[in-house]
Structure 1
Amino acid sequence: MLKFVDVARDMPEKRPPNLRKQDFGEIYAEYAAAKAEEQASRCSQCGVPYCQTHCPLHNNIPDWLRLTAEGRLQEAYEVSQATNTFPEICGRICPQDRLCEGNCVIEQSGHGTVTIGSVEKYITDTAWENGWVKPIRPSRERPESVGIIGAGPGGLAAADVLRRAGVQVTIYDRYDRAGGLLTYGIPGFKLEKDVVMKRIAQLEQGGVQFVLNCNVGEDLSFDAIRGKHDAVIIATGVYKTRDLVAPGSDASGIVRAIDFLTASNRKSFGDDVPEFDTGELNAAGKRVVVIGGGDTAMDCVRTSIRQGAESVKCLYRRDRANMPGSLREVANAEEEGVEFVWLSAPNAFDGDAVTGVRVDKMRLGLPDASGRRAPELIEGSEYVEGADLVIKALGFEPEDLPKLWGVDGLEVTRWGTVKAEFTTGKTSLDGVFAVGDIVRGASLVVWAIRDGRDSAGAVLEYLGQNAMVAAE
């Protein structure tokens, strides 16, 4: 260990932009064993590991880095899996530059961070290849059942913990495949779909029941689910797109990011997607303008490149330093030909079928409530960006679940998220818990996994208390 002074940071080889933008395969190659050991050996094994502190799951990162450096990969996987339900997914899509790697002690000392995410991905991919990822086999079956609404990362993580404890678990989801945004929101160049499907298959083989194509409130009532199970976990995520109200915003050719990404991912599964085939949700040959600066916007611009767009521009009202998306993703997008137009905000759209975006230039003023400098309009700076397809990637808001599901007594916050107890996910309804984005608002996959695991523990405690009362 402690080789960071002599050994430089070295990421896995990245495919050249001219090749990778022709397909949806992941852009980073896998580490060879010797390289993974070398990079893991750079960990300083510091007494207060900030990487672990800044990981939402508090993964035992120094421990599995040391085991990797010593060639003890199966043990490294077991340590990694102990705190993270889906380490191979987090290793691929977590914004490590903002979390573990961004807070690495040797990064702060100028030696370059340990490549934590790439090593995590390598460990778990190796575990799958060698059969170290074992099927879920509870030591005993329990009679209690839990219904989970939503098959995204939060719901899947909760299901994994509950099923390992022997609880009977049923997951209800509106889509035809489980996985939520892991399946339909995140493009394959960041997360190839077989990675997600393997984990879902593991849950199915372990006894988790999936009820798909099920719209709660339409196909099945919330009360029916609640009556069927001893506890319920709400893990729906947030899918309502923040809208942009401006003259011409109802023109054809202006689409939501979630619709655009879902169509692309469905196409990768081989599904029939009429909206893609007609060109409505297809960037091929078009001048594309994406509005937004988060990770969803990055997914949209890079997907557009791969679909064969004539040009791709990303409008963001702040500058590079103040954008919420991963800077690593911005760099990848620029390499692939995306143009970022910083300090720019749309004010109107031209054409019944969109032909252009009217843009105001901005400057940064004083910090707002979020701590970031607020954008201010520069008078008289308007110009037009030509566009044939405009993608709104402005973030997501929660749906009105009490109204949508006809539920009385389910309390929500002023933002519309479900009001739930910190760490447990307990809501205002007895035996009903909530996790992930429907509680936090739009957030990271790793936080949804953390919430799912924590809430599953609280559900087990709740079931145990109920069993004790029944026995008395």
Structure 2
Amino acid sequence: MAGKMQQFVRLERSMPVKRAPEQRTQDFEEVYSDYHLEAAAAQAARCSQCGVPFCQQGCPLQNNIPDWLKLAAEGRLEEAWQVSSATNNMPEICGRICPQDKLCEGICTVEQSGHGTVTIGAVEKYITDTAWEEGWVKPIVPPRERKQSAGIIGAGPGGLAAAEQLRRKGYQVTVYDAYDRGGGLLVYGIPGFKLEKPVVERRIKRLEDSGITFKFNTRVGEDVSLQALRKTHDTVLIATGVYKAKDLKCPGADAEGVLAALDYLTASNRKSFGDDVPAFDDGTLNAEGKRVVVIGGGDTAMDCVRTAVRQGAKSVTCLYRRDRANMPGSPREVANAEEEGVVFEWLASPEVILVTKAGKVKAVRAALMRLGEPDASGRQSPIKSGDTIDVKVDLVIKALGFDPEDLPDLFNEPALTVNRWGAVRVDYATMETSLTGVYAAGDIVRGASLVVWAIKDGRDAAASMHQAMKAATRAAKVAAE
């Protein structure tokens, strides 16, 4: 077992074994196998233990990565898990789905020196999976119970992180979610080959065992009002995420066979749970035997193309209006998709969806693009070249991103202010909204983003909610004296 650090000069970077494409495309199980103890320790020992750890700076949660890598290298896995979980409510989930190649691993000093990055995500996953297997992860037992309560709208990563942090302080926590299961996009938006659902389910079970109440199939604004939640709870957190699909703006976009990415992914994930999904069974949300085109270049688009492959699509093509270098999705996911047979049409932007006389899609006509000057995001702007291509298709999936729902209208709360994109405005120092005692976190604040950012926002909001409830308790005591 490795004992010394800085082994990057001696040991090559080695990821856990990745299943062969012809094997993994036959199911929805995770692509990578697990490390064994010796391999995890050896890879952790490649860390250079930088005086200024860039990996930590690149992590939204500021995880103490060098510390738990050293502990893992020494075989002190329970201590490694304690350090890892001190700053992250879901280390094994982040280890699976974070784009480490764009965050911690992307700026790893060892990577910059040309020796190949430390496999931070894989070791993180291994540490916490081991903690679950060994029984180290237990329900939360607060040092004392408090009478005050918090209501959390949304059981996605931001809401779950906040719920855990508040329960640790002894508050009574109730989580309201429109879905029938907890997890949000973790269970319905992310396919099993990236995140197997039992990994999320055990997190929910632990929170339930910790005394957190979940009220599923509950839509705020319909089944219960925001005003009622504010009266019921001392503080409220809005962590709904963003689910409204951005529209495809071209003729034929409303044709039969044009789907929103989340509808498609949710149907696939529900089937994995054994749910009854009529729209999947009748072929509407099923890619089997079809020529599929996915429009978009983010991680959701990669989830869609790789899901279509596993459903037995006849062919799968991804259209993206920029080139590979300007793609917003994880390069690792793009590489996985290519290995699995997905065809990428770079610099191609849909111009019209061609339909049959019966109104069904038959082809996508795409304008070929060239890249101009960088836009506000720093990526080069696509410009039409004048040429087009036609791609025959039976199913078109829109993966163009998500917009917030109109929460002031949905919640019947016009005093809840939003920005021009519809995201909830907050004071970033406290995460409090325009409504006193109401906070917001995650995608509903920052727009569609990463799970790790939602966790950070949830933790930050929970800290502010704690301070507000603690101040209210002190004020009540003073008033009673």
Q: Normalising by structure 2, report the TM-score.
A: 0.97
Q: Please give the alpha-carbon distance, in whole angstroms, between the structure 1 residues aligned to 2:454 and 2:73.
A: 30
Runs of 4+ in 1 over 2 A off after TM superposition: none
For residues 320-344 of structure 1, the C-alpha deviation after alignment (integer angstroms, 9 at most, x for no partner) is 0000000000000000000111000
1:123 to 105, 122, 127: 127
SS at match of 1:4: helix
Q: How far apart are residue 404 of structure 1 and its match?
A: 1.1
Q: How far apart are residue 193 of structure 1 and its match?
A: 0.1
SS at match of 1:378: strand
Q: Please give the alpha-carbon distance, in whole angstroms, between the structure 2 residues aligned to 1:425 and 1:149.
A: 15
Q: How far apart are residue 423 of structure 1 and its match?
A: 4.3
Other-structure match for 2:116:
112
Which residue identity is paired with 2:445? Answer: V
Other-structure match for 1:15:
19
Which residue identity is paired with 1:437? Answer: D
Alignment of 1:57-456 (within 5 A): 57-351=61-355, 352-379=359-386, 381-456=387-462
Residues 287 and 309 of structure 1 are in contact (CA less than 8 Å); yes or no, is this contact kept in structure 2?
yes
For residues 356-400 of structure 1, the C-alpha deviation after alignment (integer angstroms, 9 at most, x for no partner) is 101110000011111110000011x11210000000000001111
Q: Which deviates the most, 73-82 or 216-225?
A: 216-225
Q: Please give the alpha-carbon distance, in whole angstroms, between the structure 1 residues aligned to 2:138 and 2:85.
A: 11
For residues 192-246 of structure 1, the C-alpha deviation after alignment (integer angstroms, 9 at most, x for no partner) is 0000000000000001101110111111111111111000000000001100121
The question of 1:457 aligning with 2:460 is answered no
Q: How far apart are residue 135 of structure 1 and its match?
A: 1.1
Residues 92 and 190 of structure 1 are in contact (CA less than 8 Å); yes or no, is this contact kept in structure 2?
yes
Other-structure match for 1:46:
50
SS at match of 2:9: coil
Q: Please give the alpha-carbon distance, in whole angstroms, between the structure 1 residues aligned to 2:324 and 2:406.
A: 34
Q: Please give the alpha-carbon distance, in whole angstroms, between the structure 2 residues aligned to 1:37 and 1:29.
A: 16
Q: Please give the alpha-carbon distance, in whole angstroms, between the structure 1 residues aligned to 2:430 and 2:141.
A: 25
Q: Please give the alpha-carbon distance, in whole angstroms, between the structure 2 residues aligned to 1:217 and 1:20.
A: 42
Which residue identity is paired with 1:94? Answer: C
Residues 425 and 435 of structure 1 are in contact (CA less than 8 Å); yes or no, is this contact kept in structure 2?
yes
Q: Could you say if the C-alpha distance between residues 236 and 69 of structure 1 is closer, same or farther in structure 2, counting changes exceeding 3 Å? A: same
Q: Please give the alpha-carbon distance, in whole angstroms, between the structure 2 residues aligned to 1:220 and 1:404.
A: 11
SS at match of 1:285: coil
SS at match of 1:51: helix
Q: How far apart are residue 255 of structure 1 and its match?
A: 0.2
SS at match of 2:214: strand
Percent identity over paired residues: 66
The answer for unaligned runs of 5 or more in structure 1 is none
Q: Please give the alpha-carbon distance, in whole angstroms, between the structure 2 residues aligned to 1:249 and 1:257.
A: 14
Which residue identity is paired with 2:468? Answer: Y
For residues 290-347 of structure 1, the C-alpha deviation after alignment (integer angstroms, 9 at most, x for no partner) is 0000000000000000000000000000000000000000000000000111000001
Q: Please give the alpha-carbon distance, in whole angstroms, between the structure 2 residues aligned to 1:245 and 1:104.
A: 40
Q: Please give the alpha-carbon distance, in whole angstroms, between the structure 2 residues aligned to 1:202 and 1:125.
A: 14
Q: Please give the alpha-carbon distance, in whole angstroms, between the structure 2 residues aligned to 1:424 and 1:415.
A: 21
Q: Please give the alpha-carbon distance, in whole angstroms, between the structure 2 residues aligned to 1:135 and 1:396.
A: 34
**CA RMSD in angstroms, aligned pairs only:** 0.6
SS at match of 2:361: coil
Q: Please give the alpha-carbon distance, in whole angstroms, between the structure 2 residues aligned to 1:201 and 1:133.
A: 12
SS at match of 2:467: helix
Q: Please give the alpha-carbon distance, in whole angstroms, between the structure 2 residues aligned to 1:215 and 1:330.
A: 36
Count of aligned residue pairs for this structure pair: 471
Q: Please give the alpha-carbon distance, in whole angstroms, between the structure 1 residues aligned to 2:225 and 2:380.
A: 45
Q: How far apart are residue 408 of structure 1 and its match?
A: 2.8
For residues 144-184 of structure 1, the C-alpha deviation after alignment (integer angstroms, 9 at most, x for no partner) is 00000000000000000000111000000000001000010
SS at match of 2:15: coil
Q: Please give the alpha-carbon distance, in whole angstroms, between the structure 2 residues aligned to 1:18 and 1:45.
A: 39
The answer for unaligned runs of 5 or more in structure 2 is none
Q: How far apart are residue 119 of structure 1 and its match?
A: 0.1
SS at match of 1:97: helix
Residues 423 and 451 of structure 1 are in contact (CA less than 8 Å); yes or no, is this contact kept in structure 2?
no
For residues 382-425 of structure 1, the C-alpha deviation after alignment (integer angstroms, 9 at most, x for no partner) is 12100000000000011110011110311111111000111421
Q: Please give the alpha-carbon distance, in whole angstroms, between the structure 1 residues aligned to 2:209 and 2:64.
A: 28
Other-structure match for 1:33:
37
Q: Please give the alpha-carbon distance, in whole angstroms, between the structure 2 residues aligned to 1:412 and 1:346.
A: 31
Residues 423 and 455 of structure 1 are in contact (CA less than 8 Å); yes or no, is this contact kept in structure 2?
no
Q: Please give the alpha-carbon distance, in whole angstroms, between the structure 1 residues aligned to 2:376 and 2:37.
A: 46
Residues 171 and 208 of structure 1 are in contact (CA less than 8 Å); yes or no, is this contact kept in structure 2?
yes
